[in-house]
């Protein structure tokens, strides 16, 4: 197992444990135990506990991002691609129990304002994916000539709000309906007549 794979293994174990107990209540030894190693050894891979937490969460967020990117890359029709992007992104957390729990314990992970965003780089990349789909729609003459940057930011904010409503505040069913409604409206708003 090379260093890359070891790091992945460590981050995933750490995320599981942080999900179980929350940041404060997990000891770095709990994570070492989960990995079958000693805590001293963990410090060859991360700077300190906080660093381990941030790397583990980052890893989780990147998995999320990669899964969405993969699932839309081969879609020809840009409208379908836009819908898939939104839906896959929105529903992902229903499957990733660890990341979901960590998020519930620590909602500050989410960028309320992009100023105080601990994971700014990852969010920027996610927004880039959204932006690229919007740009493509315009380039292909399917979407109206909107201001891509501002619309990206707006849609991303709405998307984050939905995720918080659904997974952090658990306003499940009715929120999902709202999401589909909103998605329909946005798509119609985007399309050229």
Partner DNA sequence: GAAAAAATGAACATAATGTTCACTTCATCA
Partner DNA sequence: TGATGAAGTGAACATTATGTTCATTTTTTC
Binding site for DNA (CB under 7 A): 3, 6, 24-29, 36-41, 43-44, 47-50
Pair 51, 84: CB distance under 8 Å: no
> Phi, psi at residue 7, to the nearest 5°?
-60, -45
Q: How far is the CB of 4 from DNA (least distance, A)?
A: 11
Strands (E), 57-145: none
For DNA, give the closer residue by CB, 36 or 145: 36
Q: How far is the CB of 5 from DNA (least distance, A)?
A: 11
Reduced to 3 states, what is the DSSP secondary structure of residue 86? helix
Q: How far is the CB of 43 from DNA (least distance, A)?
A: 4
167 Cβ contact partners less than 8 Å away, ≥ 6 residues apart? 93, 94, 100, 103, 104
For DNA, give the closer residue by CB, 37 or 160: 37
For DNA, give the closer residue by CB, 7 or 161: 7
Q: How far is the CB of 47 from DNA (least distance, A)?
A: 7
Q: Which two tokens stand for residue 81?
A: 């691609």
């Amino acid at each position: 197992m090379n260093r890359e794979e070891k790091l992945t293994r460590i981050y995933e174990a750490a995320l599981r444990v942080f999900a179980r107990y929350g940041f404060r209540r997990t000891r770095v030894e709990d994570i070492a135990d989960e990995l079958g190693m000693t805590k001293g050894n963990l410090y060859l891979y991360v700077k300190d506990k906080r660093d381990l937490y941030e790397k583990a969460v980052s890893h989780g967020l990147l998995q999320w991002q990669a899964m969405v990117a993969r699932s839309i890359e081969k879609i020809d029709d840009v409208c379908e691609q836009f819908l898939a992007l939104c839906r896959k992104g929105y529903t992902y957390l229903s499957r990733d129990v660890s990341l979901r729990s960590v998020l519930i314990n620590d909602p500050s992970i989410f960028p309320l304002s992009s100023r105080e965003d601990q994971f700014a780089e990852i969010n920027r990349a996610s927004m880039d994916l959204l932006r690229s789909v919007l740009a493509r729609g315009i380039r292909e003459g399917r979407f109206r000539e909107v201001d891509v940057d501002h619309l990206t930011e707006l849609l991303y904010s709405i998307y984050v709000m939905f995720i918080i409503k659904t997974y952090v505040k658990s306003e499940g069913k009715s929120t999902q309906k709202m999401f589909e409604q909103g998605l329909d409206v946005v798509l119609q708003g985007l399309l050229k007549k």
